[in-house]
Amino acid sequence: GYRVSLQGNFFGCNHTYMTFPEYIPRRHIKLDPPLNIQSNATASKCQIWWSTLNAPWYLTEILQYELQYKEYSMSWEVAFNKTLPSSLPQVEIEATELRSGTAYAARVRCKVSENENSYHSQWSEWSRATVFQRADVPKVSEKILNTKTMQFLFIPLSFGTLLYLFWNCKLSSRRQKASPALTFPLQLLSFSHSIVCTMGILR
């Protein structure tokens, strides 16, 4: 520790003022801002990372970071702030927090963790900003969507048609005992033609 005092001559008299009776530098640290902040955005998340090579090696594992990000056209005064729980120099932002097609800017600052007793610091200045934009989610083709819809509808419709034909043939066989074999083949042929036409539409 150090003893810091201020000495001066005031109106011809020498005076000494004790500014800090005991000044401990490791409890009054201000770090340089993080370096080389970069980002990579996809449709699901945005990854941001940076470097702390300018910080002393014995402090890198006890640092905490604060992330600030905003829409690129907005002021930093309305930015979102996140205090990161990890000492790792990286963070991920979920896509649900970002608007599609909008450019964003992000920056970060650091200080010694408040849980640390041996050192104490204030926040560093903000780093340079990195700019990123969330990737658009690919849209499902309308043709593929219609084809899948037809495929889902085809199964219950076919099953319902079979039940209808079976029930209709059963009634016809009771009414027309003289020619029971004539009605079913004609209806089966018509149903087969319907299936062929439906499969042609799906293709």
Q: CA distances (Å), 30 to each of 27, 95, 108, 118, 123, in order? A: 10, 33, 15, 15, 7
| Residues 27, 120: Cα–Cα separation, whole Å | 4
Q: The CATH number of the domain where 46 resides is what?
A: 2.60.40.10
| Residues 192, 165: Cα–Cα separation, whole Å | 12
Number of H helices, E strands in the chain: 2, 11
For residue 177, being part of any structural domain is answered with: no
Give tens-digit pLDDT for 80-125: 999 998 899 999 999 889 988 899 999 999 999 988 889 999 999 9
Task: Tell me the residue type at 160.
Answer: G
Q: Is the domain of 11 the same as that of 88?
A: no
Q: Is the domain of 23 the same as that of 50?
A: no
Q: Is the domain of 84 the same as that of 21?
A: no
- 196 phi/psi in degrees, rounded to 5: -60, -45
- Specify whether the CB–CB gap between 123 and 66 falls below 8 A: yes
For residue 8, being part of any structural domain is answered with: yes
Which pLDDT does position 74 carry in this prediction? 94
Report the range of poorest mean pLDDT among 6-20, 65-79, 152-166, 188-202: 188-202
Q: Is the domain of 105 the same as that of 49?
A: yes
| Residues 154, 102: Cα–Cα separation, whole Å | 41
| Residues 138, 141: Cα–Cα separation, whole Å | 9
Question: How many domains does the chain contain in total?
Answer: 2
Q: Look up the domain containing 10 and give its range.
A: 1-27
Mean pLDDT of 11-35: 87
pTM (two decimals): 0.61
Confidence of residue 181 (pLDDT cuts 50, 70, 90): very low
Q: Is the domain of 21 the same as that of 42?
A: no
Q: Is the domain of 23 the same as that of 73?
A: no
Pick 41 or 135 by higher pLDDT: 41
